[in-house]
Amino acid sequence: MRKSLSLLAVIASLVSLTACSSATSQSQALAGPGECADTSAGTASKAISVSGDFGRIPEVTFAKGTLSAETTERTIVAKGDGERVDPGDTTFVEMSIYNAVTGSIVAQTAYGASPATAIVVNDQKYLKGLVRAVECTTVGTRVAAFVTAGDGFGSAGSSDGTVQADQPLVVVADVLSTVHSDAKADGVPQEPVAGMPAVELDSAGRPTVTIPEAAAPAELQVAVLKQGDGAVVQPDAEVIINYQGVNWRTGEVFDESWGNGPTNFQLSAVVQGFSSAIAGQHIGSQIVAVIPPDLGYGPAGGNSQAGIEADDTIVFVIDILDASSTTAPAAG
């Protein structure tokens, strides 16, 4: 049975563990800030056979226990003609990860049975080998990578035991889309809506929100600030966004992604008002949403860490940069 690649969250959590292991990184060239490490093909990566349609579960064969290389290697199985994947991007991928010694699947994304997985192209957040597999490729590309133990789970191995100490990995990845770290909503500006918070943007796109001198509305209110022309975001989507949250009562920012790069999550994992505001919008749009307590943090009794009380209305400005939803037919 396929293992879900919310697995990437698991793998990300192990980066600090592997960084402290005795195995050292064996990447061909570790990228500095803003630099792209364009991993080359080699004998090991060329020995990985991959077939099947892009974006669907691949047929992968290799001689288990025989692949070896001093550095991580990557072969382009099929080259896409989309945008380049740069360091710091948030990138939608479908990915299969194998133990190169045993041949067993370590983890695999859903390949359309649920939204695609988004990873940040940053080897401080994800295993170096996963980052090297997709970094500097282009959207639409399928790659096969041989990942050394030093760029994988190192001398610690994986916590679930599927990868033992010093065992390398085989990674096959499809690059579906990418969002650059400086991305902004690129939709057409719309006229302000009376009664909604005023939003001004600086040159980097970061908003400043002014709360009206009025009582907060009792129901969810959403206004489109920029109208995008991308696909409609589905209710089950994984989204890549920039956002800023402001407390209507205080006018203070309690959370934001601007300044740190876009963030990603599934709409099912956030408060109802936030999810409802985004679902049905077009990719490329910027919206402002006023969320009443019952659709925000009210049911949880507020959020003391963010300074939000149970009866507080919250306001979000959101750039909708990309989204992925279920594409495979439901199992019947």
**Where among 154, 179, 204 does a domain terminate?**
179
Determine, yes or no, domain membership for 2.
no
> How far is Cα 68 from Cα 272, in angstroms, rounded to an integer?
49
Domain housing 269: 188-324
Domain boundary among 179, 200, 218: 179
Does residue 1 lie within any of the structural domains?
A: no
Q: Are residues 160 and 54 in the same domain?
A: yes
Q: Are residues 239 and 212 in the same domain?
A: yes
The identity of residue 202, as a single letter, is D
Per-residue pLDDT of the chain in tens (332 residues, 90 and over written 9): 333 444 554 454 444 334 333 333 444 444 444 678 889 999 999 999 999 999 999 999 999 999 999 999 999 999 999 999 999 999 999 999 999 999 999 999 999 998 999 999 998 888 999 999 999 999 999 999 999 999 999 999 998 899 999 999 999 999 999 999 999 999 999 999 999 999 999 999 999 999 999 999 999 999 999 999 999 999 999 999 999 999 999 999 999 999 999 999 999 999 999 999 999 999 999 999 999 999 999 989 999 999 999 999 999 999 999 999 987 554 33
Contacts of 238 (CB under 8 A, 6+ apart): 92, 115, 116, 117, 118, 264, 265, 266, 267, 323, 324, 325
* Domain co-membership, 170 together with 242: no
Helix (H, G, I), strand (E, B) or coil at 257: coil
On whether residue 28 sits in a domain, the answer given is yes
Residue 17 CB contacts under 8 Å (≥ 6 apart), including other chains: 156, 159
Q: Are residues 193 and 173 in the same domain?
A: no
The candidate with the shortest Cα–Cα distance to 261, out of 203, 205, 198, is 205
Last residue of a domain, one of 157, 179, 201: 179
Q: Is 226 found in the same domain as 125?
A: no
Residue 45 burial (CB < 10 Å; 0-12/13-18/19+)?
A: buried
CATH code at position 253: 3.10.50.40
Check whether residue 197 and residue 269 sit in a common domain. yes
Backbone angles phi, psi at 300, to 5 degrees: -95, 5
**255 shares a domain with 135:** no
**Environment class of residue 305 by beta-carbon count within 10 Å: exposed (0-12), middle (13-18) or buried (19+)?**
exposed
* 330 domain residue, yes or no: no
Kindly report the number of other CB atoms within 10 A of residue 327's CB atom.
16
What pLDDT is recorded for position 18?
40
**170 and 39 part of one domain:** yes
What's the structural domain count of the chain? 2
CA dihedral 60, 62, 65, 71 (to 10 degrees): -90
